[in-house]
């Protein structure tokens, strides 16, 4: 009885008793959720347009962040380092298309997936060779990101919100809006969606695969840089960042591999839920550190009920 009480009643009583603390937890969760969503978005774009599950998305985040910090270390002013990093990411996209994707076109999906693992290993090696393997500090203030925090006092309590988190959220929202406008309103965006629907037909109307692939990988590179800056600002830049890409997997399962909305909602949901679960259930009942597995279990449960994910594209079939 006491056990049931501590699972089903006590956590909610805690939430109500200290709403300011609850808000703080949700906010923290939202911020990590934004990051998960960004990484998932990179996956979704590449999967939609080429049916490739891009294992390298995580390392692209690290590589972009490393390039940015590395350029700054070598004396490039921060605001110039950002466009320069984007140029690097563009050439990376071109190189991946030329060297990896083009020769492997029409190969089974699993081979392309393996190829992205190869890209991952290559980028780890390249990054370490050029910038060294030690941890670096993200150049947050040099980029003009405010580092203070705001204190708010809702419900007579106390919530502290870091300004760089707010910047991250606002930046992510702007990025997503720009991406959605690009996908839905521009000629290239339309071609990307068309390619996701029917590869052969896209070829037959003259949509050039290589152009689209370069664009899509470049966009993923931009997203990777944004993710890298935000995550690096919280936790520093190191190759350990790569594993956060794994966090995108449950997000994708939850949201569906093809849905931009799914990636965003899935990311936010997982971010918030895992935080809330950790604080109110994990720490008091399970000894903490539930964040490491909560997302995967949640995704598993969702898959049992909806195999295409919560927002996976419905397969349109005429009968």
Partner 1 sequence: MTPMTAPTPDTAEPILAVNNIEVIYDHVILVLKGVSLSVPRGGITAILGANGAGKTTTLKAISNLLHAERGEVTKGSILFEGQEVQALSPNTLVRRGCIQVMEGRHCFGHLSVEDNLMTGAFTRKDGAAAIRDDLELVYQYFPRLRERRTSQAGYTSGGEQQMTAIGRALMSRPKMILLDEPSMGLAPQLVEEIFEIVKKLNDEQGVSFLLAEQNTNVALRYAKYGYILESGRVVLDGEAKALRENDDVKEFYLGVGGEGRKSFRDVKHYKRRKRWLA
Whose CA is closest to 163, among 178, 177, 183, 149? 149
Q: Does 93 engage in binding with partner 1 (CB under 8 A)?
A: no
Q: Closer CB to partner 1, residue 176 or residue 192? A: 192
Q: Does 15 engage in binding with partner 1 (CB under 8 A)?
A: no
Among 2, 187, 304, 305, binds partner 1 (CB under 8 A): 187
* Minimum CB distance to partner 1, residue 183 (Å): 11
Q: Does 203 engage in binding with partner 1 (CB under 8 A)?
A: yes
Among 193, 284, 285, 310, binds partner 1 (CB under 8 A): 193
Contact region for partner 1 (CB under 8 A) — 122-130, 142-150, 164-172, 310-318?
Answer: 310-318
Q: Dihedral of CA 42/92/74/83: which sign?
A: negative
Which tokens go with 146?
A: 């405010």
Q: Does 101 engage in binding with partner 1 (CB under 8 A)?
A: no
Whole-angstrom Cα distance, residue 231 to residue 35?
Answer: 7
Which tokens go with 261?
A: 């909305």
Q: Does 205 engage in binding with partner 1 (CB under 8 A)?
A: yes
Among 19, 171, 179, 190, binds partner 1 (CB under 8 A): 190
In this structure, what DSSP letter does residue 54 have?
-
Q: Dihedral of CA 121/124/129/130: which sign?
A: positive
Among 200, 304, 305, 319, binds partner 1 (CB under 8 A): 200
Q: Closer CB to partner 1, residue 16 or residue 316? A: 316
Backbone dihedral region for residue 231 (phi beyond 0: left; psi -120 to 50: alpha; all else: beta): alpha
DSSP string covering 284-316 = HHH-S-GGGTHHHHHHHHHHHH-TT-SSPPPPP
Whose CA is closest to 133, among 230, 228, 62, 225? 62
54-to-248, 249, 269, 271 alpha-carbon distances in Å: 11, 11, 22, 22
Q: Does 106 engage in binding with partner 1 (CB under 8 A)?
A: yes
Contact region for partner 1 (CB under 8 A) — 113-121, 144-152, 205-213, 248-256?
Answer: 205-213
Backbone dihedral region for residue 309 (phi beyond 0: left; psi -120 to 50: alpha; all else: beta): left
Contact region for partner 1 (CB under 8 A) — 6-14, 119-127, 196-204, 267-275?
Answer: 196-204
Among 20, 199, 236, 285, binds partner 1 (CB under 8 A): 199
Q: Does 3 engage in binding with partner 1 (CB under 8 A)?
A: no
DSSP string covering 147-176 = --EEEE-GGGS-EEEEHHHHHHHHHHHHHH
Among 208, 289, 300, 301, binds partner 1 (CB under 8 A): 208
Q: Does 206 engage in binding with partner 1 (CB under 8 A)?
A: yes
Whose CA is closest to 252, among 207, 311, 188, 301? 311
Among 125, 198, 283, 286, binds partner 1 (CB under 8 A): 198
Q: Does 191 engage in binding with partner 1 (CB under 8 A)?
A: yes
Q: Closer CB to partner 1, residue 304 or residue 315? A: 315
Residues that bind partner 1 (CB under 8 A): 106, 187, 190-191, 193-194, 196-208, 313, 316, 318
């Amino acid at each position: 009885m006491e056990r049931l009480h501590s699972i089903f009643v006590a956590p909610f009583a805690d939430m109500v008793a200290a709403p300011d603390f609850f808000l703080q937890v949700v906010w923290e969760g939202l911020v990590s959720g934004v990051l998960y969503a960004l990484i998932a978005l990179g996956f979704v774009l590449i999967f939609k347009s080429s049916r490739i599950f891009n294992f390298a998305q995580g390392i692209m985040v690290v590589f972009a962040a490393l390039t940015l910090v590395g350029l700054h270390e070598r004396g490039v002013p921060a605001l110039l380092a950002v466009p320069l990093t984007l140029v690097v990411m563009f050439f990376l996209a071109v190189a991946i298309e030329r060297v990896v994707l083009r020769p492997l076109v029409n190969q089974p999906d699993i081979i392309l997936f393996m190829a992205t693992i190869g890209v991952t290993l290559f980028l780890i090696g390249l990054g370490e060779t050029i910038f060294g393997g030690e941890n670096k500090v993200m150049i947050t203030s040099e980029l003009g990101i405010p580092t203070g925090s705001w204190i708010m006092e809702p419900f007579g309590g106390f919530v502290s919100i870091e300004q760089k988190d707010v910047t991250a959220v606002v930046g992510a929202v702007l990025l997503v809006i720009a991406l959605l406008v690009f996908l839905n309103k521009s000629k290239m965006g339309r071609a990307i969606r068309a390619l996701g629907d029917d590869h052969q037909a896209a070829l037959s109307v003259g949509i050039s695969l290589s152009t689209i692939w370069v664009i899509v990988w470049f966009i993923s590179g931009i997203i990777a840089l944004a993710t890298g800056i935000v995550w690096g600002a919280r936790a520093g830049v190191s190759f350990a960042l790569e594993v956060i890409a794994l966090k995108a997997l449950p997000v994708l399962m939850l949201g569906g591999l093809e849905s931009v909305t799914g990636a965003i909602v899935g990311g936010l949901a997982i971010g918030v839920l895992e935080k809330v679960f950790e604080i109110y259930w994990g720490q008091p009942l399970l000894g903490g550190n539930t964040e490491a597995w909560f997302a995967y279990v949640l995704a598993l449960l969702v898959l049992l009920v909806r195999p295409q994910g919560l927002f996976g594209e419905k397969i349109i079939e005429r009968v």
